Amino acid sequence: MLGRILVGLLLASCWLTGQQRPVAFLDVTVVPMDRERLLPHQTVVVDRGRITAIGRAGKTRVPKGAQTFDGRGKFVMPGLADMHVHLNIQGPNGILQNEDYATLFLANGITTVRNMWGDASTLAFQKSVVRGDIVAPQIYTTGPITDGNPPVRRGRRAIETIAQAVEAVTSDKRDGYDAIKVYDRLSPEVYQALVSTARSLELPVYGHVPTAVGVEGVLAARQRSIEHVSGYLDALDKDDSPKRVAELVSATREAGTWNCVTLVFFQGAVPAEEASRLLARAYMRFMPPAMISAWKNNPQLASLTSYQFDRIRLYNEKRNRFVRALHEGGARILLGTDTPNPFVVPGFALHEELRNLMNVGFTPYEAIKAGTSDAAEFLHEESQFGTVAVGRRADLLLLEANPLADVANVKRIAGVMVDGKWFSESELKDRLEHLLASFSHPR
């Protein structure tokens, strides 16, 4: 246990050593993400956690004593947002701690996350990040998952009456959560009570499509986001004609409902031989051994037949086609992963999801936008993050190549700045190695 504590102290100190003096990126190409464009030969100045100046290289004042970086041949873009994560996941032999998530996210350029199942520990961690006690992505979080009775799984908050619905939303607002999350087994009456109470308290509603409500009921209620394309495929099982697809896309766009599609999550439902290939990826070593073992020996996947896996693949294709239709029809889509579900490794999985969006018709700019400026717009935080602009929080990536030419270039990270604190590629790699070493100590 002492070894684990010492490693934890080392990790904490590693993240808290970010410099306090101003920083300037010299002669860099800016990828502002306010629209599809590049701004070459720029100087970007950061001070006290904010972008304070952007201007022509050689003509923009750099504060005396600033730490400078040669940006020639490099690109500065906003940090990424993973808009569907689950923090503080406990395994059979230990915990993937929130500090571990910080390592995995920041090493992959993720500077903002939307947590989709909050509790008191999530709020405490969120506050520690805001105070600057620890360097981690900015956290936006829902309250507990709110389901009907009996809930889909144990640990969800079960709501059966309108009075309970009002109390649930009121308590989430009082506790300081950023949104309420709804789930599969809510009754129509309770769902409507949750939505109306949330609207009166200016608390957005995210989540699944309750089966008894249906996707059209959720769209009529103008739920702020639907996760995993939930509910749409059920509707299309009855009628998947082009006309029906167009109706659902149009209804989604008109409702102003966003979809966080998490295609990478569904790619984890694979037979044993494919699971072995996924587990052979180099970045899998950064997950706790207990979690890897749970993924490898998942009893639910082991119980499925070849026919059932064929059906899963067909549904994946159907889901991909509908996401393409949503995108082509102008409905809004967010970049997210549902990490850490099986084979969905925090941080690394978001780069897989960027590729998934490309595969369903997004351009590199559109895919990156879903996890930068679009994420900020969704959260009504455009003045805080999502673009490279004066006044924005200094959550930035320095890349070795143009991300608008190829989303794979987003992985070519020379360094990450989060809330104005800079970490080089070598520091990020060291942090990952420290995380790996910590797995050998009792948790």
298 or 76, higher pLDDT: 76
Find how far residue 122's CA is from the centre of its chain.
15
The 10s digit of each residue's pLDDT in 267-280 is: 999 999 999 999 99
The 10s digit of each residue's pLDDT in 123-144 is: 999 999 999 999 999 999 999 9
pLDDT at res. 11: 47
The 10s digit of each residue's pLDDT in 340-390 is: 999 999 999 999 999 999 999 999 999 999 999 999 999 999 999 999 999
Give the pLDDT band (50/70/90) at residue 7: very low
Residue 436 pLDDT greater than 60, yes or no? yes
The 10s digit of each residue's pLDDT in 187-226 is: 999 999 999 999 999 999 999 999 999 999 999 999 999 9
Q: Which of 180, 368, 349, 347 is nearest to 262 (CA)?
A: 349
Which residue type is seen at 23?
A: V
- CATH code matching the domain that covers 2-78+388-438, chosen among 2.60.120.620, 3.40.50.720, 2.30.40.10, 3.30.530.20: 2.30.40.10
Q: Percentage of residues in the chain with pLDDT exceeding 90?
A: 88
Residue 150 pLDDT greater than 70, yes or no? yes
Any idea where the domains of the chain sit in the sequence? 2-78+388-438, 80-378
What letters, b where the CB count within 10 A reaches 16 and e where it falls short, cover 105-130? bbbbbbbbbbbbbbbeebbebbeebe
pLDDT at res. 90: 58
Could you tell me the sign of the dihedral formed by the alpha carbons of 315, 321, 324, 330, in that order? Answer: negative
pLDDT at res. 440: 77
3-class SS of residue 221:
coil
- CATH code matching the domain that covers 80-378, chosen among 3.40.190.10, 3.20.20.140, 3.40.50.300, 1.10.3720.10: 3.20.20.140
